[in-house]
Amino acid sequence: MAQKACEEEKAAALILLSSLPPIEGKDARQRELRLLRLKYFPLIFFRRSFCLQERDFRAHWLASVPKDERADIVRRMVPESGHLVNEFFHRSVIVDPERIRCPILAISGADDRVASPASLRETARQLGADIREYPGHGHWIMGENGGEEIVREIHRWLVKELGEEILLAEFSQRQ
């Protein structure tokens, strides 16, 4: 959705974090996602809000999160919109890379079981984006150990791409 929004509106920058490609394609993770789609098909078909079973959520979204931190994340889960889940499994948004005129950074965990690094690399290639891939990280990349360093790297990238003045101007407007 962010990619599509950047086609229509002027954005300072776009950061794709463990992002799925806008159109469903073939990649190494597709079989796992097809099995999840089959398991939850009735809920997806009727666009019912639901939570993934804890076992599925832990296995795919939280695979790289330390085990002692997973329970707290799972407790905070809320049902997802059936429309959002349907879009997740049936992506068909056409994005025109030529219309996105801002700098783009794509970030992936090398062990992501939801959005494969290969598909994000391909999306980054199509968009002309910079890409960073983090070994030992999965889909919950910002909540995993070392997430703070990734935030610092994103900040450095933003300063490099946009200039320090733009960041300071944004900060002073919020004060």
pLDDT tens digit sequence for 1-56: 788 899 988 899 999 999 887 765 555 556 777 788 889 888 888 888 888 899 99
Pairwise CA distance, residues 21 & 88, whole Å: 10
The pTM of this model reads 0.80
Domains and CATH numbers, the chain: 2-174 (3.40.50.1820)
Count the Cβ atoms, other than its own, within 10 Å of residue 104: 23
Which amino acid is it at 99? Answer: R
- Helix ranges, the chain (H): 2-8, 30-39, 41-45, 54-60, 67-75, 82-89, 117-127, 147-162, 164-174
- On the CB side of 16, CA atoms within 13 Å amount to 33
Q: Angle at CA 89, nearest 5°, toward 3 and 107?
A: 45
